[in-house]
Amino acid sequence: MPQMAPLWWEFLFMFTLMFFVMMNIIMYYYKKYLPKKMNKEYIKTFQLNWKW
Protein backbone atom coordinates (compact mmCIF):
# COMPACT_ATOMS: atom_id res chain seq x y z
CA MET A 1 0.00 0.00 0.00
CA PRO A 2 2.75 2.63 0.63
CA GLN A 3 3.93 2.17 -2.95
CA MET A 4 0.62 3.49 -4.27
CA ALA A 5 0.81 6.73 -2.29
CA PRO A 6 3.46 8.56 -4.39
CA LEU A 7 1.48 7.95 -7.58
CA TRP A 8 -1.67 9.37 -6.00
CA TRP A 9 0.04 12.48 -4.61
CA GLU A 10 1.88 13.04 -7.88
CA PHE A 11 -1.39 12.89 -9.80
CA LEU A 12 -3.08 15.24 -7.31
CA PHE A 13 -0.16 17.67 -7.40
CA MET A 14 -0.01 17.77 -11.19
CA PHE A 15 -3.78 18.23 -11.44
CA THR A 16 -3.80 21.18 -9.03
CA LEU A 17 -0.68 22.67 -10.65
CA MET A 18 -2.13 22.56 -14.16
CA PHE A 19 -5.42 23.93 -12.84
CA PHE A 20 -3.75 27.00 -11.34
CA VAL A 21 -1.59 27.50 -14.42
CA MET A 22 -4.65 27.47 -16.67
CA MET A 23 -6.47 29.86 -14.35
CA ASN A 24 -3.50 32.24 -14.49
CA ILE A 25 -3.47 32.16 -18.29
CA ILE A 26 -7.24 32.65 -18.56
CA MET A 27 -7.31 35.57 -16.12
CA TYR A 28 -4.30 37.14 -17.86
CA TYR A 29 -6.09 37.16 -21.19
CA TYR A 30 -9.26 38.42 -19.51
CA LYS A 31 -7.36 41.43 -18.22
CA LYS A 32 -5.43 41.97 -21.43
CA TYR A 33 -8.04 41.57 -24.18
CA LEU A 34 -11.55 41.77 -22.78
CA PRO A 35 -11.56 45.39 -21.50
CA LYS A 36 -11.31 46.52 -25.12
CA LYS A 37 -14.50 44.70 -26.01
CA MET A 38 -16.57 44.59 -22.85
CA ASN A 39 -17.72 46.62 -19.88
CA LYS A 40 -15.35 47.15 -16.96
CA GLU A 41 -18.00 46.24 -14.40
CA TYR A 42 -18.54 42.99 -16.27
CA ILE A 43 -14.80 42.29 -16.17
CA LYS A 44 -14.65 42.92 -12.41
CA THR A 45 -17.09 40.10 -11.81
CA PHE A 46 -14.69 37.71 -13.56
CA GLN A 47 -11.47 38.89 -11.92
CA LEU A 48 -12.42 37.31 -8.57
CA ASN A 49 -10.05 39.64 -6.68
CA TRP A 50 -6.91 38.24 -8.33
CA LYS A 51 -4.08 40.71 -7.85
CA TRP A 52 -1.81 40.55 -10.87
- Predicted structure pTM score: 0.43
Average pLDDT along the chain: 73
Say if 52 falls within a structural domain: no
How many domains are there within the chain? 1
Does residue 50 sit within a domain? no
State which residues form the domain around 28. Answer: 5-43
For residues 44, 46, 48 and 52, what is the CA-based torsion angle, rounded to 10 degrees?
-80
pLDDT at 29: 82
Establish if 51 belongs to a structural domain: no
Q: Compute the CA torsion angle 8, 14, 19, 22 (nearest 10 deg).
A: -160
> What distance in Å separates the CA atoms of residue 52 and residue 47, rounded to the nearest whole number?
10
* Res 19: pLDDT: 92
